[in-house]
Amino acid sequence: MAGKLDGKVAVVTGAGAGIGEAIARLYAEEGCRVVVADRQRNAAERVAKDIGGLAVVTDVADEAQVAALFKSCDEAHGRLDILVNNAGVPGPTVSVENEDMAVWDETMAVNVRGVVLCIKHAVALMKRQGGAIINLSSGSGLKGGPLRNAYCASKFAVIGITESVAFEVGAHGIRCNAICPGAVAGTGLIDVIAGDLARAEGRSVDEYFDKTFVRSSALRKRIETRDIAETALFLASDTASAITGEHLRVNAGR
């Protein structure tokens, strides 16, 4: 049986763990050749070995490294059909009056600059045949929360970038959409965020996660990395050929 992404090539950033790894693995299951980009060499190589992909060590905030990533993709496969901008950092959990601007700038460098750089260098390859860009925003990109202004600002920015780019590249058959996950269980990023917020409230991480994210959702469900990967598969596939400039909540109805 043919896979939903047979013959396609994808670059997935932050693919060495968490949501990015889940997306890379599902894409490979569906017939896609995946370039596994991550700034952790061991993580990238582990995932790439498992799925028969290509590992490229990349810091998405560094334009030279991003350019090298897409050059490697072109040299290996001669095309690019899908870009998943998943790489991200949690940023600080701190009041704005105590903001460390160096940490704030680092959050923006990865979560915003990195998205723009990857799109910038992907578009030339995608113009050859069209494609799909999928940006990972967040529920925090739709509604701000206390102590999280850097992360919220970065994820709001991702939605703005998504909507703008969709209009720029649509004439070339390139779609651009965003996913806004809720709190996804078992990812390093949410572990940091939930841990920081739990400590700020004097609660355990498990208690905080369950009360804040699970029991407050319509489905009373923990969101797993596979849930986000399935959404990324839909947006990358021809089934979503008429969808662009959108952001899709995957939050169990929270």
* Catalytic residue positions, numbered: 151
How far is it, in rounded angstroms, from Cα 249 to Cα 234?
Answer: 13
- Helix axis angle for 101-108 and 149-169, nearest 10°, is 30
The b-or-e profile of 90-113 (16+ CB within 10 A means b, else e) is bbbbbeeeeeeeeebebbbbbbbb
How far is it, in rounded angstroms, from Cα 56 to Cα 40?
Answer: 9
Closest of 72, 53, 67 to residue 8, by C-alpha: 53
DSSP reduced 3-state for 88: coil
Q: Is 136 exposed, middle or buried (0-12, 13-18, 19+ CB in 10 A)?
A: buried
Contacts of 124 (CB under 8 A, 6+ apart): none
Q: Is 32 exposed, middle or buried (0-12, 13-18, 19+ CB in 10 A)?
A: buried
